[in-house]
Structure 1
Amino acid sequence: MVTTGQLFPATRTDLPTFGYDTDDIATGALGDLAPEPGWPRPVLLDADFLILVTGGHGSAELDFRALSCRPGTLLRAHPGQALRCLGPQLDATVVRWGAGTLSGLDVDPDAVPAYRQLAGEDEDAVISEVTQLTVDADRHAGVPAATALLRHQLAVLLLRLTLLPIVPERTPRPETETFQRLCREVERGYPQSRRVDDYATQLGCSVRTLTRACLAVTGRSAKQVIDDRVALQACRLLAATDEPVARIGRGLGFPEPTNFGRFFTREVGVSPGAFRARREQPLPVRMVHPRPPADSPAGPGPA
């Protein structure tokens, strides 16, 4: 099914689809994502997104990392990430798709860098494909037969983005692969365990191997990488939802609120309550970033 129009009418804690089937492709404007005018706080994304800036200058905070935006900036965002865009007259075209949209197609959406500043022929080609996708999504809205057309257009766009020149890999490949495997396991298991030993057992390697890989890629230990991911999720929920602090802590494996408070303060630099109270201010505190976006000004890393 092809859909257009408003993508995201409100912020929710359970990441709903707002009436879209999980396999939908939707296009719209950047303003459709804002929970209310002015982006007073981040929004939790419910699906996969490409955001192509078409006008204005400003910044996007993707998981609390500030990224400079101007025409030609491309953002690749994932379900569950916290997004806020700031800047006068910052316009962008947004493409949204569900988990099953690309099933059966030979394309890896996760290979697309989280942040790119396009230029020259690459920018022209991406703009052309995003524009055609948007036009066709609008022209064929509600037409089941157009689903295949949109799926293949999206696949071609993603393939083109994966073929763009990338920053040369500076980390030895075995360490990078081990780090990425750990990140995938942490993504699945961080609410249940923050123990490096548990992940080493799951991956069939030693704690020393995981720590060496994490230090090579991020400069942080495996334990710090795991704690970074938990702290990031806490920040997302504190900033973008109104869930009680104690409930957020319990969902992240802290039965006692005081233990969650100590953990969060140690990792982020302020208490959960103080972080929430300052969430309407851009980048109010020091933040942790377990996986820096590729090609981001803040440093390289896997998606």
Structure 2
Amino acid sequence: MMAKKRHEIAEVPFAAPVGTPAGVEVMSPAELLRRVPARTLARPQRPDFHHLLTLTSGVARHTVDFTEHTLRPGSWLWVRPGQVHQWGDLTGAEGTLILFRQDVLDAATATTARLDDPHAPAVSTPAADEAAALDLAAEHLSRESGAPGRLPLEVHLAAVRHLLAVLVLRLAHLTAPAGAGAPEHDETYTRFRDAVERHFTRTHRVEDYARMLGYSPRTLARATLARAGVGAKEFVDRRVVLEAKRLLAHSDRTAAGIAEQLGFARPSQFGKYFTHRTGQSPIGFRDAVRGRGE
């Protein structure tokens, strides 16, 4: 999908070729290059589906929300829906790319694998034994997704979903935060995280979320620290700053327009907020990201 403006983020929907399993597609980096021009891949994109990429040879560079990652054989890249990413040069890179919609997996798997965690690491490098298990899971998924005629359709789709679930659960386990899995924090954190995602453009105050959800600010702080490794206020601020960076880098909206969109009463308030948390003014950040900061 092409953006209307030069710097607008391209929203990319999932669109697998006819005949592939609903909501899941497995291909090689070379196949991606054959289907999509490199110039298009290099543009900022915000897909509404997950990307999993692992290499068997070569090197790939990939930018996810303003952080460039270098992927080598043995590592895994995971880009989640809503994250802004840009492909680097895939020439010579060989491996497996898995694209999937979140609704392919059941709710329990999605929760356990933290599929909608915007703060999960984009790249993980497993130990040798875990890497072998992940490679085997990816190989099984690739074979099953590429052979839809060997089983009745419903059985084939179920097999693809289960194989994908094994893969994402193993990957998620590699990057689970220290407090993950603590029952006393799970529901509180999940409700807070979801509320922030819905309302971060309206309020940046932890007290407002506490009132909204029926918790005390201290309870939110404990749950967020246990599950995300940061305090509740820092969690909200990270989400606001991330969206501000996305809009500054990949849209042509003015700083005043972005301030209004993110719920700031005045552009000056947004400027102070952004500068305090990033060390750069909004316009300074935009110029630096677009190559005009030097």
TM exceeds 0.5? yes
Checking the alignment, whether the CA contact within 8 Å between 2:50 and 2:101 is kept in structure 1 is: yes
Matched, 1:191 2:191: no
Offset of residue 174 of structure 1: 7.5
Offset of residue 81 of structure 1: 1.0
Q: Which amino acid aligns with 1:72?
A: G
**Inter-CA distance 51–245: structure 2 relative to 1 (3 Å threshold):** farther
Find the aligned partners of 1:83 and 1:180 in 2 and give their Cα distance.
25
State which of 138, 150, 154 in structure 2 corresponds to 1:130.
138
> For residue 124 of structure 2, what is the aligned residue in structure 1?
116
Offset of residue 73 of structure 1: 0.8
Question: Secondary structure of the equivalent of 1:278?
Answer: helix
> For residue 71 of structure 2, what is the aligned residue in structure 1?
69
* 1:40-59 matched pairs, under 5 angstroms: 42-57=44-59, 59=61
Checking the alignment, whether the CA contact within 8 Å between 1:41 and 1:239 is kept in structure 2 is: no
Offset of residue 25 of structure 1: 1.0
- 1:17-74 deviations in whole A, cap 9, x for unaligned? 15459x5112234574988449756432321222223323455443334545211111
* 1:254-269 matched pairs, under 5 angstroms: 254=264, 256-269=266-279
Matched, 1:81 2:83: yes
**Between structures 1 and 2, the one with greater helix share:** 2
Find the aligned partners of 1:224 and 1:211 in 2 and give their Cα distance.
10
Question: Secondary structure of the equivalent of 1:80?
Answer: coil
Find the aligned partners of 1:20 and 1:273 in 2 and give their Cα distance.
38
Checking the alignment, whether the CA contact within 8 Å between 2:56 and 2:94 is kept in structure 1 is: yes
Checking the alignment, whether the CA contact within 8 Å between 2:58 and 2:72 is kept in structure 1 is: yes
- 1:74-105 deviations in whole A, cap 9, x for unaligned? 12322111224557745542211113212477
Find the aligned partners of 1:159 and 1:172 in 2 and give their Cα distance.
13
Return 34-43 or 238-247, whichever deviates more: 34-43
Matched, 1:28 2:27: yes
Checking the alignment, whether the CA contact within 8 Å between 1:136 and 1:150 is kept in structure 2 is: yes
**What's the Cα RMSD here?**
4.1
Question: Secondary structure of the equivalent of 2:11?
Answer: coil
**Inter-CA distance 51–219: structure 2 relative to 1 (3 Å threshold):** closer
Q: TM-score normalized by structure 2?
A: 0.71
Q: Which amino acid aligns with 1:248?
A: I
**Inter-CA distance 168–217: structure 2 relative to 1 (3 Å threshold):** closer
Aligned residues: 272
Offset of residue 193 of structure 1: 1.4
Checking the alignment, whether the CA contact within 8 Å between 2:178 and 2:227 is kept in structure 1 is: no
The higher-RCO structure (CA 8 Å, 6+ apart) is 1
- 1:216-247 deviations in whole A, cap 9, x for unaligned? 67775432321221001111233344455444
**Inter-CA distance 165–96: structure 2 relative to 1 (3 Å threshold):** closer
Q: TM-score normalized by structure 1?
A: 0.69
> For residue 228 of structure 1, what is the aligned residue in structure 2?
238
Offset of residue 158 of structure 1: 2.5
Question: Secondary structure of the equivalent of 2:289?
Answer: coil
* 1:1-303 matched pairs, under 5 angstroms: 10=2, 13=9, 15-17=11-13, 19-20=15-16, 24-30=23-29, 32=32, 36-37=38-39, 42-57=44-59, 59-86=61-88, 89-103=92-106, 108=111, 110-111=113-114, 114=121, 115-140=123-148, 145=153, 146-162=156-172, 169=178, 173=182, 177=186, 178-179=188-189, 181-214=191-224, 221-254=231-264, 256-280=266-290
**Inter-CA distance 157–171: structure 2 relative to 1 (3 Å threshold):** closer
Checking the alignment, whether the CA contact within 8 Å between 1:105 and 1:155 is kept in structure 2 is: no
**Inter-CA distance 92–62: structure 2 relative to 1 (3 Å threshold):** farther
Checking the alignment, whether the CA contact within 8 Å between 1:28 and 1:95 is kept in structure 2 is: yes
- 1:131-150 deviations in whole A, cap 9, x for unaligned? 33234434449x99243332
